[in-house]
Amino acid sequence: MELEKAKVHGFLRSLNGKFFTVEFIKRSTGEVRVMRATTNYESKLAGGDLGYDANEKALIPVWDLEKKAFRSIPTDAVLRIVALGNTYEVK
C-alpha cells in the first residue's frame, strides 16, 4: 500500500499506541534505520517536556521497543511503515 509523505505523522498518531515498525533515514548520519516503536508511553521524559517543538521540526516522539528509550522519528524521512498487518510504502 502507498502512503503520502504528508500523511505519515497523522497515520502514526492514528495507530493509537499500537506497535509498528518504521524504516527511515536518520538526519544525523543519513543511514537507514529500522525501529519497532509505539506512540503510547506512560512516563514523561526524564528532563520534563521536550526542549523544542517536535511538530515544527517534523518529528514524532515514540518509545523504541528494542532500546527501551524515547526516540524521535523524522516524519519527512520515513520510507516504510509496517502496521496493522500491512506494509505502507511512503511516496
Q: Cα 67 from chain centroid? A: 14
Tell me if 48 is assigned to some domain.
Answer: no
* pLDDT value at residue 55: 72
Beta-carbon count within 10 A of 17 CB: 11
Place of cell 524515547: 70
Between the alpha carbon of residue 27 and those of residues 33, 54, 76, 84, 86, the distances in Å are: 10, 14, 10, 27, 26
The domain spanning residue 61 has which CATH number? Answer: 2.30.30
State the pLDDT confidence band at 67, using cuts at 50, 70 and 90: very high
DSSP state of 70: E
Tell me the pLDDT tens digit for each residue of 15-46. 988 999 999 999 999 999 999 999 887 655 55
Q: Domain span at residue 74?
A: 2-43+56-90
State the pLDDT confidence band at 3, using cuts at 50, 70 and 90: very high
| CB hemisphere CA count around 50 (13 angstroms) | 13
Tell me if 77 is assigned to some domain.
Answer: yes
Q: Does residue 80 have a pLDDT over 70?
A: yes
State the pLDDT confidence band at 50, using cuts at 50, 70 and 90: low
Q: How many folded domains does the chain comprise?
A: 1
